[in-house]
Structure 1
Amino acid sequence: MSYAEINGLSLYFEEHGPRSGVPVLLLHGGLGASDLFAPLLPALADHRVVLVDLEGHGRTADIGRALSPELMADDIAALVEHLGADRADVLGYSVGADVALRTAIQHPALVRRLVVLSTPFRRDGWHPEVVAAMDRMSAQAAEPMRQSPIHGLYARVAPRPEDWPVLVGRISELKKQDYDWTAEVGAITAPTLLVFADADAVRPAHMVEFFALLGGGLRDAGWDGSGRPASKLAVLPGATHYDILASPSLPAALLPFLDTAGSPESS
């Protein structure tokens, strides 16, 4: 368990598994912490796993700067360098997936493989009722959420548990912001695995559009598989946006992607 002093931030991270090899960075969702990846850790026991608490979340204190995927992506890039790694595999869920995506966009040389769990590349990729709920969210939700498991985790590990309303307010503002990363997603060079639930908060049509931007689903792979795209799409059965990290189908989708020996450019 360590802190990296980067970009004016004391960024919490902890390593699991071997201390050599390409690190696999796991980035949690909004209001969460790295502890939420506990169900996935046994499947990644043979990998150099690095859990991260994003700014204002978990054990990483809020420093009062704008909370944005772009700035947090710079934090992740600095962490890769802090770890002494040339490149990393970066996996993110929800808000963490936004950060992972921006890391691949802003720092392409540092991302070997990218895994995006349950987030759209454009705000209207969420179902309309999800967007409406984001628009209604505010810091006032902090008090009723004190009864939730996610607050219980925050209260246990945060350096300043009294900052809970600050975090809820800042995430509320972040999720109200419009964004469209279409052009930038199309330029991503890292092989990418997109993972969604079959009852996700992201619209199925948007999942397919996302995959197409990465070169997937545009043609038949051919009998010999020679037309298979470098990027992959997995839709996990019986899962939702809220329980996808615990899906028993997730390791089966993730491990072959991480363990595939790719080209010199991707490995």
Structure 2
Amino acid sequence: MLHVIDRIAVEEDGEGEAILCLHGLGGDSNTWTPLMPALAGYRVIRPDLPGSGRSASAGGALTIEKLAQAVHAICIRLDVSRAHVLGHSMGTIVAQHLAAAQPHLVRSLALFGPLIAPNDTARAGIRARGEKARHEGLRGMHEIALALVNAATSSDTRQRQPVAVAFVRESLMRQDPEGYARSCEALAAAQAAAVERITAPTMLVTGDEDGVAPPQAVRTMAERFVQAASLRSVVLNRCGHWTPIERAEDCARELRAFLAAQH
């Protein structure tokens, strides 16, 4: 079922406990399609976040806090009072803000390619990418997509998984340039959530070739989840930053085990 809530496109599938899926920069609800078989038996809610996918025109200037508020509003509209929250990349930051601000809502956190906030070098690069999208439009998005395929997927993915490469290209190339620019601005200005206050069981999954969320950075990140009811960190081999796309079966296996442990 497709909902349109405050100009935000939201897909809803299945019945059961709620799972809320938050994609990253350059993603949309389809980031999670490879993991849907692992989520059978749940009520899966996948928004295209404001500025992304079919929700590109929703709202004005964006911040991570505004994205978290939009997600909370979706939960209220869909009568979701408690949910397992999945995040990828920028979506992991939104998920952390949601868990810190609305602890009663977030039953667990499964974060793929996770980061607390970009470092200063990354912030500058993200801002430059947003400016390129805004000023160069479709041609700029094409160049951004090609650059990110090389920078954000593993060498094994590029050599052996042409469908995964095609997905990442298409996900980026299809973004509205202005919406993508606003999403870049939100991510470039992202501040850390109060992760030390998060009590939800948490799983952090990254790739050994993830340059955005490298394993050592994720290990350091894990040390800040001091109140999480449980914490699991996973590093997938021959995997870059597009974790659910590059290593769908591995992500699905880890996710099934993590969710089963919450019952």
TM range (shorter): 0.7 to 0.9
CA displacement, residues 200-258 of structure 1 (integer Å, 9 cap, x when unaligned): 12233321121111239xxxxxxxxxxx9612111111111035433021111111111
Distance in 1, Cα, partners of 2:80 & 2:141: 38
Change (3 A) 1:205 1:152: closer
Residue 91 of structure 2 aligns to a residue whose secondary structure is helix
CA displacement, residues 121-159 of structure 1 (integer Å, 9 cap, x when unaligned): 1322x9x5x455325323324423247566745787xxx
Distance in 2, Cα, partners of 1:207 & 1:59: 31
1:109 maps to a residue whose letter is: H
Q: Would you say 1:189 and 2:199 are equivalent positions?
A: yes
Q: Which moved more, 1:134-143 or 1:25-34?
A: 134-143
Residue 205 of structure 2 aligns to a residue whose secondary structure is strand
Matched residue, 2:44? 49
Structure 2: which 5+ residue stretches go unaligned? Answer: 146-165
Matched residue, 2:66? 71
Matched residue, 2:150? none
Would you identify which runs of 4 or more consecutive aligned residues in structure 1 move more than 6 Å? none
Q: Would you say 1:239 and 2:239 are equivalent positions?
A: yes
2:113 maps to a residue whose letter is: S
1:28-47 aligned at under 5 Å gives the runs: 28-47=23-42
Q: Would you say 1:215 and 2:226 are equivalent positions?
A: yes
| Contact 1:101 1:116 (8 Å CA) reproduced | no
1:97-246 aligned at under 5 Å gives the runs: 97-124=92-119, 130-131=122-123, 133-141=125-133, 142=137, 143-146=139-142, 148=145, 152-153=170-171, 164-177=176-189, 179-181=191-193, 184-200=194-210, 201-215=212-226, 230-246=230-246
Residue 223 of structure 2 aligns to a residue whose secondary structure is helix
Structure 1: which 5+ residue stretches go unaligned? Answer: 217-227, 263-267
1:11 maps to a residue whose letter is: I
2:223 maps to a residue whose letter is: A
**TM-aligned CA deviation for residue 173 of structure 1:** 2.1
TM-score, normalised to structure 2, is 0.78
Distance in 2, Cα, partners of 1:23 & 1:109: 13
TM-score, normalised to structure 1, is 0.77
1:25 maps to a residue whose letter is: L
CA displacement, residues 34-67 of structure 1 (integer Å, 9 cap, x when unaligned): 0122211122222221111101212224234321
**What number of residue pairs does the alignment pair up?**
235
Residue 213 of structure 2 aligns to a residue whose secondary structure is coil
CA displacement, residues 42-96 of structure 1 (integer Å, 9 cap, x when unaligned): 2222222111110121222423432122111112122222222320111010111
Structure whose CA Rg is larger:
1
CA displacement, residues 149-208 of structure 1 (integer Å, 9 cap, x when unaligned): 66745787xxxx8xx221232133233325333xx1010011111111111122333211
| Contact 2:13 2:43 (8 Å CA) reproduced | yes
Matched residue, 1:16? 13
What percent of counterpart residues are identical?
30
